[in-house]
């Protein structure tokens, strides 16, 4: 898959504990994802490598995370702050007993002629048919990719942060934050937010949204949903 780089920017954060108190999904010190079953037993989702970027659906119907292929699960991590060189994307659905499924793109991701194998921060759409994740091709920029089950991965665009709306009138829409540099150095940096409706086209929704978490939750909440 060939991707043409754009000029927007990304800095997403990862959490050890994700949304969903009942499910209590987490990643332990060995990089193993687990959740609390209905019987109150903690169940490990073992994929053989250290995991991160844990995400849990607001209704706890799905879990998504990445595996760092350069670090074995349970092994002593001698460089915990080192960025991964190759990752895989996993999704586990409640309806399938939370069995991890590898949804890493089968074709190479090419940006400016270079192949990329690091995929970060996966999220799912409410219909559980599409996973979105970032490809960090610079320290500040990620290309957002969407992959629908049974279809080839496609480019959405670049972002500094993003989330998917669950519930309400905007359910399924994608909110993206872009960091834009003004040609005048004294003008500083601007943050603008856009909504991708049905992942088809983008509309500007915020001229000043530097605090993306606050903006996204307020925007989604006003429409009866949450953005994760």
Tokens of 21: 């108190």
Torsion of CA 18, 228, 108, 72, to 10 degrees: 0
Q: What is the pLDDT along the chain (228 residues), one digit of tens a residue?
A: 544 333 333 434 333 334 444 788 999 988 999 999 988 899 999 999 999 999 999 999 999 999 999 888 777 666 667 778 899 999 999 999 999 999 998 877 888 888 889 999 999 999 999 999 999 987 777 899 999 887 888 888 899 999 999 999 999 999 999 887 777 767 678 888 999 887 666 787 876 788 999 999 999 999 999 999
User: pTM of the prediction?
Assistant: 0.84
Query: What is the C-alpha to C-alpha distance for residues 54 and 198, in angstroms, rounded to an integer?
Result: 24
Taking alpha carbons only, the member of 138, 179, 130, 180 closest to residue 156 is 130
Torsion of CA 167, 169, 173, 178, to 10 degrees: -110
| Per-domain boundaries in the chain | 12-124
Q: Give the 3-state secondary structure percentages of the chain, helix then strand then coil, rounded to 5.
A: 5, 45, 50
């Amino acid at each position: 898959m060939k991707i043409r780089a754009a000029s927007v920017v990304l800095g997403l954060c990862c959490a050890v504990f994700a949304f969903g108190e009942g499910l209590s999904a987490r990643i332990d010190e060995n990089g193993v994802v687990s959740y609390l079953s209905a019987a109150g037993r903690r169940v490990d989702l073992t994929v053989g490598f250290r995991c991160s970027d844990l995400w849990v659906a607001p209704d706890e119907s799905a879990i998504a995370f990445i595996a760092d292929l350069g670090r074995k699960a349970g092994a002593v991590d001698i460089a915990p702050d080192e960025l991964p060189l190759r990752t895989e994307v996993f999704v586990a659905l409640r309806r399938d007993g939370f069995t991890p499924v590898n949804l890493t793109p089968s074709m190479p991701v090419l940006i400016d002629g270079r192949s990329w194998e690091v995929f970060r921060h996966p999220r799912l759409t409410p219909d559980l048919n599409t996973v979105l994740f970032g490809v960090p091709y610079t320290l500040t920029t990620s290309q957002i990719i969407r992959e629908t089950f049974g279809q080839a991965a496609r480019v959405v665009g670049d972002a500094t942060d993003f989330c998917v709306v669950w519930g309400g009138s905007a359910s399924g829409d994608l909110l993206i934050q872009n960091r834009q540099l003004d040609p005048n150095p004294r003008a500083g940096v601007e943050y603008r937010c856009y909504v991708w409706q049905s992942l088809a086209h983008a509309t500007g929704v915020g001229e000043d949204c530097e605090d993306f978490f606050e903006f996204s939750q307020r925007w989604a909440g006003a429409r009866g949903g949450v953005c994760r």
